[in-house]
Amino acid sequence: MDRALAGRRSPGRARSVTETRVRRLSRGTRWFRRLAGDRGSTNIEMAILFPVFVLLILLGVQVGLIFYGRTVALAAAQQGAVAEAAYGAPDGIGHTQASAYLTRMGDVLNDWEVTVAPAGEGAPEPTAVRVTVTGTTLGWLGMRFQISQTAYSPIEQFTTEDDS
């Protein structure tokens, strides 16, 4: 038989299933052989990228803790402002309410401080109350972030139609 015709199949002969599979595998192995020089590169890539992924996850948790601390501080300030501005409220009730809320929330804020101050726009008597809550949030590896939130509330007063 001629060498040029040795690899060819005869026109009347059908290709067998195993022959088709062998041809497909040989095409795949050629492609695989081209990439054989990259063996083990995935392990190296993961060794480099894994610490980056862990750092991103921890950073996301830290940002979440900061925003949670800000939300708790704002809620305490709002409760204190509403309590202090209520009609006929005793002095210092705003500070008491804000402190009680922060105590119930636990260690979300550390070293917190509540400041209650009257606020008014040039009026002889204050027309509003400003409550500021400051503190430090929880953090990873000893990191602490200082936060401060302020809430305002108008002082409730009894008025008549003649007062307006």
CA distance 68 to 35: 49
Q: What is the CATH number of the domain that holds 78?
A: 3.30.1300
* Average pLDDT, rounded, for the chain: 82
Model confidence at 19, pLDDT cuts 50, 70, 90, reads low
Phi and psi, residue 9, nearest 5°: -95, 160
DSSP H helices in 86-155: 93-105
In terms of residue numbers, what domain contains 151? Answer: 38-163
Question: Which residue would you say has higher pLDDT here, 102 or 139?
Answer: 102
Look at residue 60 and tell me if it is in a domain.
yes
H-helix segments, the chain? 17-34, 41-85, 93-105
Decide if 82 is inside a domain.
yes
Each residue's pLDDT tens digit, 102-123: 999 988 899 999 999 988 777 7
Structurally, how many domains does the chain consist of? Answer: 1
Residue 56 lies in a domain: yes
In a domain, 109, yes or no: yes
Q: Is residue 30 part of a domain?
A: no
pTM (2 d.p.)? 0.69
